[in-house]
Amino acid sequence: MDLLYARAQMGLSLAFHIVFAAAGIALPLLMVLSDLKARRTGDADYEVLSRKLAKGTAILFAVGAVSGTVLSFELGLLWPAFMGTYGEVIGLPFALEGTAFFTEAVFLGIYLYGRERIPAGLHLFSGVMVALSGAASAFFVTLVNVFMNHPTGFTPTAGGPVDVDPVAAMFSPGWMHQTAHTLLACYQASAFAMAGIHAFVLLRHPGAAFHRKALSVALPLACVTALLQPLVGHQSAEHVAREQPMKLAAAEGLFETQRGVGLSLGGLPDVETGTTRYALEIPKALSLLAFSDPDAEVKGLKEFPRDEWPPVAKVHLAFQLMVGTGGAMALLAGVTLLLRWRRKAWPEGRRVLWGWLLCGPLGVVAMEAGWLVTEWGRQPWIVRGVMRTAEAVTPVQHLAAPFWTFTLVYLFLGAMVVFLLVRQVAGTLPGREPPEREVSHAH
Amino acid sequence: MPTELWLGGALVAAFVLYALFGGADFGGGVWDLLASGPRKAEQRALIAKALGPVWEVNHVWLILGVVLLFSGFPRAFAALSVALHVPLTLLLLGIVFRGTAFTFRTYDARGDKVQRRWGLVFSVASMLSPALLGMCVGAVVSGDIRVQGLAVVSGFFSAWLSPFALAVGALALCLFAFLAAVYLTAETREPGLQEDFRRRALGAGVAVFLAALGVLVLAREGAPRVWAGLTGSPFALALHAATAVSAVLAFGLLLARRFWPARVAAAAQVGLIVVGWAASQYPYLVVPDLTLQDTSASTATQRALLVALAV
Ligand code: HDD
Ligand code: HEM
Ligand code: HEM
């Protein structure tokens, strides 16, 4: 029972953190892009936008920083045996993340408080540094997850790891796809969210010039990432097929080893009967996608010991959700770019705006689903093949208490952030004073 | 010098920096809560202005300390996070609320009720966090955390709720409040505000002295190892003499209204106290079962960490 609470608390903390992490990485880029646009066009609106984005970054960055602090303590509070044993193997990327974070915080301070006080060029430079170091810290921390999926750089013994090579551990196999996929996910999620917000305002106030400009800053990033992401995801899938066949089998809900396997869309895997029902199949597509050969053999779950199966249904659903939403976003991006190419301007028709509004939240959904795939797909291991999650959990009892406490805290903070950001956006509505509203407080 | 000593040194440096910068930020929150008199609003504004650009950077020193501990001395990190699970969790809550409340208050400047409530959350969290931090330190030096193999055998409560640990918590709180008040005197040119914080600094200085005395008295029973370390070696005695000198100096300079030099002296005092803590428990990371040497990671990892730090 305590193991479940520990996993739930870790998962919740990460799911919460990654939203703010993604914003902390992507908003600085968008802010610098609108600074550049302001310089190029001399249009003051872009500078206002950059200020708004900087304010948003400050709020989200602070929440990202504190939730990240919680995570680094939770690694020990919840999984002391994992950190006690493998901390030395995988500490290096964490230390480098700290360095990157330090750089990010310093330059964000300069950027936020220096707008009027330092030369414009230097100000822009500090914005660029914020964007770069944010990306660097995401890169390093994702390497930890790569290691947990495919540990290298040490020799396991009964007494713990020996012959530790921290640099090899940091670049465990698959690091390129996974870091690229995660970074893209962060940009994509934030750009889609931003586009969704401005599309929403434009649908209600079609004349709002400010929001049209804001949309034109978000759309390029959103379209490019949405089109690249399936390609990188495909690389990831090929890697998983080769190196972690059990995870692929779970993601696809495939129980029997077969040749020329089809790709299932939807469906509900049932581990009792060993079948996936209600799925639509595209013949031979899985073999083709995973091994570039329509007749390739794909291993099914029954190939592996039953007690090492991940939670099949959950992994399958999360994977479907990620790929489905990813496909929808790529489609919208393709259509938008086509229209932009034909009309030489970003499209503003109501139908396209509706598309962006509806797809706005999907980036975050896909990002969360993706993490669930990689985490659930790794179960029951915390470090695949060498340490089980159940061996790693803390001996401290009554983990329900911190779990519920942090759940409440996250709900409350999430609600507050939304409230504050709504206030920020409301301040830009045409001809309207920001609405004064009361929130109810939990104290 | 062996790599684990360098890493241990880096760990101490991280804690000193956290005390000097992060500690002062906590102290600022304490004075936000205790703001009073005719210049109440100005006091709060000054605190917010001083904290705004820096608190996130200052916070990094804590993360650095944690990361160094778990990658450089993984077994000690594991033992501490089991034995101190409860206070560390509470500390986390304090850190979460302090940071977010401060930011929400700053970036939502409307002066309405919402904003004032955030101010209250910010300052209460600023008081609880340093006290908990001090209690954890007290537990570590007291020798009440016992470890066998990889398992903690001393329970989850007694170590950090001992009278000695509570006294260290009180000392940490007073110390950070003192530091913040001294820093704030030099953050403004407005004589009224300077006087406000000068008076607060002097009061907090007296509180620091009393709390330190309490810790010392309780250490004899509650932390015999530290008591021996404090009073034993000539190096320790020299350290404590230096601490005493800077404390007296800080006080004198405050009385003479020399605010910038007072700031330096107060920082030296706090830094020396942290170094003194580390020196008195050397070579132990968790008194009395885990030392720097026997919890340290492999040499390759330690080298890589030191290189990463240098960058
Ligand atoms: C995909 C990106 C990503 C992922 C998977 C994680 N983080 Fe994170 N983290 C960031 C991206 C990020 C960031 C962009 O660098 C943040 C977010 C906003 C910010 O303040 O920096 C950050 C902040 C941040 C901080 C705050 C640093 C400070 O306040 O000094 C810590 C301690 C961590 N993270 C630790 C973790 C841990 C222990 C993780 C997993 C177990 C983790 N992060 C997952
Ligand atoms: C990159 C660094 C990461 C590390 C070191 C890490 C580590 C861990 C650990 C130790 C656990 C608990 C053991 C387990 O249940 O597997 C866990 C679970 C989990 N993590 Fe990750 N994780 C990372 C990134 C993420 C991110 C960014 C997310 C974002 C959503 C995430 C989502 C989850 C979820 C949902 C669980 C719970 C899964 C379950 O039900 O067990 N992880 N992670
Ligand atoms: C559309 C086609 C996509 C495919 C084929 C795909 C494929 C994959 C695969 C195979 C994994 C598991 C990697 C592993 O566990 O090692 C994964 C993970 C992940 N996906 Fe996707 N993905 C797609 C779209 C997306 C989109 C649109 C997003 C977010 C905006 C996203 C975000 C993530 C994240 C955050 C992870 C976890 C980190 C990682 O393992 O890289 N994916 N994806």
A185 lines ligand 3 (CB under 6 A): yes
Copy the structure tokens of residue B140: 């570590």
Strands A280-282 and B147-148: what pairing?
A: unpaired
Chain B contacts of A105, Cβ < 8 Å? 56-57, 59-60
* Per-residue pLDDT tens digits of chain A, which is 443 residues long: 577 787 888 888 888 899 988 988 898 899 888 888 888 887 878 888 888 888 888 878 878 888 888 888 888 778 877 777 787 788 788 888 888 888 888 888 888 877 778 887 888 888 888 889 889 989 988 888 888 888 877 777 776 776 667 777 677 777 888 888 999 999 999 999 999 988 888 888 877 778 888 888 888 899 899 899 888 888 888 888 777 887 777 777 777 777 767 777 777 777 666 677 676 777 677 777 777 777 777 777 677 777 777 777 788 888 888 888 988 888 888 888 888 888 877 777 778 888 888 888 899 999 999 998 888 888 777 877 777 777 777 777 777 777 788 888 888 888 887 887 787 777 666 554 433 333 333 33
Q: What is the DSSP letter of A302?
A: G
Ligand 3 center to residue A152 CA distance, Å? 22
Q: d(Cα A94, Cα A89) in Å, to the nearest integer? A: 11
The answer to whether A59 contacts B54, with C-beta atoms less than 8 Å apart, is no
Give the length of chain A. Answer: 443
Instruction: Please state at what angle helix B23-33 crosses helix B113-142, rounded to 10 degrees.
Output: 130
3-state SS of A5-36 is HHHHHHHHHHHHHHHHHHHHHHHHHHHHHHHH
Ligand 2 center to residue A19 CA distance, Å? 14
* From A81, A94, A436, residue closest to B67, measured CB to CB: A94
Copy the structure tokens of residue A319: 């994977």
Q: What is the DSSP letter of A306?
A: G
Q: Could you tell me which of A134, A97, A148, A106 has the C-alpha nearest to residue B308?
A: A97
Tell me what ipTM this predicted complex has.
0.75
Name the region of A431 (left: φ>0; alpha: ψ -120 to 50; beta: rest).
left
* From A62, A94, A439, residue closest to B71, measured CB to CB: A94
Q: Could you tell me which of A217, A280, A213 has the C-alpha nearest to residue A252?
A: A280
B152 contacts chain A (CB < 8 A): yes
Q: Which residues 6+ apart lie within 8 Å of B49 measured at CB?
A: B187
Copy the structure tokens of residue A347: 């499209």
Which residues on adjacent β-strands are paired with residue A298? A258
Give the Cβ contact number of residue A271 at 10 Å.
Answer: 15
**Side-chain-facing half-sphere of B79: CA atoms under 13 Å:** 26
Residue B43 host element (H or E):
helix B40-51
A142 lines ligand 2 (CB under 6 A): yes
pTM, entire model: 0.81
Is-cis flag, bond preceding A220, omega within 30?
Answer: no
Q: Which residues 6+ apart lie within 8 Å of A345 measured at CB?
A: none
Ligand 3 center to residue A285 CA distance, Å? 18
* From A66, A86, A94, residue closest to B100, measured CB to CB: A66
Instruction: Please state at what angle helix B224-231 crosses helix B191-222, rounded to 10 degrees.
Output: 110
Q: d(Cα B301, Cα A155) in Å, to the nearest integer? A: 14
Q: d(Cα A348, Cα A212) in Å, to the nearest integer? A: 8
Backbone phi and psi for residue B238, each to the nearest 5 degrees, phi listed first: -60, -45
Instruction: Give the dihedral of Cα atoms A239, A245, A251, A253; nearest 10 deg.
Output: 150
Q: d(Cα B93, Cα B83) in Å, to the nearest integer? A: 18
Q: Could you tell me which of B207, B210, B229 has the C-alpha nearest to residue B288?
A: B229
pLDDT 10s digits, B144-167: 676 766 666 666 667 667 778 788
Give the Cβ contact number of residue A159 at 10 Å.
Answer: 7
Distance of residue B240 Cα from the nearest chain A Cα, in angstroms = 32
